[in-house]
Amino acid sequence: MKLLIIGSGAREHALAWKFRQDDPNIELIAAPGNPGIATIARCFPVRADDIDGLFALAQAEKPDVTVVGPEAPLEAGIVDRFTVEGFAIFGPTQAAARIETSKRYAKEIMRRAGVPTAAASHHTDVQSAMRAARMFGAPVVIKASGLAAGKGVVIAETMAEAERVIRSMLGGALGEAGREILIEQYMDGEELSVFALCAGNNAMLLRGVQDHKRLLDGDHGPNTGGMGAYTPVSIDTSLLQYRILNDIIQPTLAALTEDGSAYTGLLYAGLMVSSSGVKVVEFNCRFGDPETEALLPLMLSSLLDPVAEIARGGRVSSATEVKWRIGSSVTTVVAAPGYPTRPRLGERVTLPPPEDNVYVFHAGTTIREDLDLEPDEAAPLLSAGGRVLAITGVAPTLDGAARKSQQYAERVQLPGKQFRHDIGWRELARVRSRRVQPSA
């Protein structure tokens, strides 16, 4: 099989790695890829949002299946284009991708389907948005309706902060993505990310993952695209999975089908779990990042088989038993200095020697081939994005996985690097609490 992966981040590197695990004989190509992906695939310098260029590449290479990583090409209608031309592709149509690309549309679909989510209203002017924010009270969530590269959600702790954010978004700080915003009720609880492989009204759930959005330890600092993740999560019980599938995923898929936008591909449910139940924070129309990097090293079952089946128009079953490696996985993201606002790029990155059960996924790296080097000198690896690497450690325990991930991240040489030292802290606190409970 020849498979084309579209994208250039750690998510796409993890997908490529997993597909190679599932089928050692697979022929992988990527556009544009990255230096990590290039070790296991042929990479072509075609941007992920260059739909014409990607289509020309598909015509030349004739992949059996194409897998789309990021959301931008999905919003641009790459699945529609490839499908019309007869190329099997994994991902939702442009219309179905609105579940992520338009938060207003996602809320409308959830209301129609009776899917539990926070109360929200949409606005295009500051005055009405502020009235809604005051009605909810602080803290209040402010979201750009469109895609904003991970910068479109702010939890305002005060009304003064809410007004600043509202004026900034509606004033053009996020471009077209912030032309319309949602003011949303803040939800207490614990976040959980759950992936569903979907084909129309059918879905197969994967194990839950917990992401860490804030830049700094203790969930402080600005929101980011994600600073790390871990799995398994003890709140992700079989009963919770049943409720997620039956109360959230399947009603949403049915509503999309009724809307003429039947969903195929990966549906990512960002959830808030509390004592009162589970609610949807947001939907994404693709694999999450860094959740994918934490999840796939523990997945024993094939991911390639259901992905290829869905891409070719086949079905999946919620009854499919997905097998997982015993143990825990922790992913630590190594970010550039200045991330997330003004990342400093072009710094040399030096990786420690490989280690067993440590997986290094390239997120934002490049290799400078144009430098004047000595004959035996390798071209340097340089930082090329805000998030540079995703380091996944796997061990029998969460403690052990966290240590593997963080110790390797410590040894990565990148001037001014940033990373969190507490990925999985909620779960670790639960584990430690159980250890000190008195015996019956």
Query: What average pLDDT does this structure show over 284-294?
Result: 97
Query: What average pLDDT does this structure show over 148-156?
Result: 81
pTM above 0.95, yes or no: no
Query: What pLDDT, on the 0 to 100 scale, is given for residue 432?
Result: 83
Query: What average pLDDT does this structure show over 405-409?
Result: 98
Q: Residue 54's domain is classified under what CATH number?
A: 3.40.50.20
- Rounded to the nearest 10 degrees, what angle do helices 126-136 and 159-168 cross at? 150
Confidence of residue 30 (pLDDT cuts 50, 70, 90): very high
- Given a contact cutoff of 8 angstroms between Cβ atoms, the answer to whether 405 and 330 are in contact is yes
Say how many domains are in the chain: 4
Q: Residue 352's domain is classified under what CATH number?
A: 3.90.600.10
The fraction of the chain above a pLDDT of 90, given in percent, is 89
Rounded Cα gap, residues 151 and 173, in angstroms: 10
Has residue 110 been placed in a domain? Answer: no
Residues 6+ apart with CB under 8 A from 322: 204, 206, 207, 299, 301
Query: What pLDDT, on the 0 to 100 scale, is given for residue 439?
Result: 47
Has residue 55 been placed in a domain? Answer: yes
Has residue 41 been placed in a domain? Answer: yes
Same structural domain, 221 and 290: yes
Same structural domain, 298 and 195: yes
Same structural domain, 422 and 332: yes
Confidence of residue 378 (pLDDT cuts 50, 70, 90): confident
The fraction of the chain above a pLDDT of 70, given in percent, is 96
- Given a contact cutoff of 8 angstroms between Cβ atoms, the answer to whether 393 and 358 are in contact is yes
> How is 344-371 classified by DSSP, letter by letter?
----B-BPPPP-TTEEEEESSEEE--SS
- Which of the listed residues 91, 111, 137 is the one where a domain comes to its end? 91
Q: Residue 130's domain is classified under what CATH number?
A: 3.30.1490.20
Query: What average pLDDT does this structure show over 385-392?
Result: 98
Same structural domain, 169 and 194: no
Confidence of residue 436 (pLDDT cuts 50, 70, 90): low
pLDDT at 437 over 60: no
Confidence of residue 75 (pLDDT cuts 50, 70, 90): very high
Has residue 440 been placed in a domain? Answer: no
Same structural domain, 219 and 306: yes
pLDDT at 146 over 70: yes
- 162: domain range? 125-179
pLDDT at 220 over 80: yes
pLDDT (tens digit, 9 = 90+) per residue, 162-203? 999 999 999 998 998 889 999 999 999 999 999 999 999 999
Has residue 293 been placed in a domain? Answer: yes
- Mean pLDDT of the residues in the chain: 94
DSSP SS3 for 253: helix
Query: What pLDDT, on the 0 to 100 scale, is given for residue 372?
Result: 60
Same structural domain, 334 and 429: yes
- Which of the listed residues 36, 69, 91 is the one where a domain comes to its end? 91
- Which of the listed residues 151, 179, 207 is the one where a domain comes to its end? 179
Residues 6+ apart with CB under 8 A from 308: 1, 3, 64, 65, 88, 90
Query: What average pLDDT does this structure show over 367-379?
Result: 68
Same structural domain, 153 and 259: no
Same structural domain, 149 and 195: no
Query: What pLDDT, on the 0 to 100 scale, is given for residue 421?
Result: 98
pLDDT at 19 over 60: yes
Flag the least confident range among 169-173, 261-265, 383-387: 169-173
Query: What average pLDDT does this structure show over 223-231?
Result: 95
Same structural domain, 231 and 288: yes
What is the Cα Rg of the chain in Å? 21
Same structural domain, 352 and 396: yes
Query: What pLDDT, on the 0 to 100 scale, is given for residue 377?
Result: 61
Query: What pLDDT, on the 0 to 100 scale, is given for residue 370?
Result: 65
Rounded Cα gap, residues 333 and 226, in angstroms: 8
pLDDT (tens digit, 9 = 90+) per residue, 88-116? 999 999 999 999 999 999 999 999 999 99
Query: What average pLDDT does this structure show over 278-288?
Result: 96
Same structural domain, 307 and 213: yes
Residues 6+ apart with CB under 8 A from 50: none
Has residue 112 been placed in a domain? Answer: no
Q: Residue 251's domain is classified under what CATH number?
A: 3.30.470.20
Same structural domain, 160 and 198: no
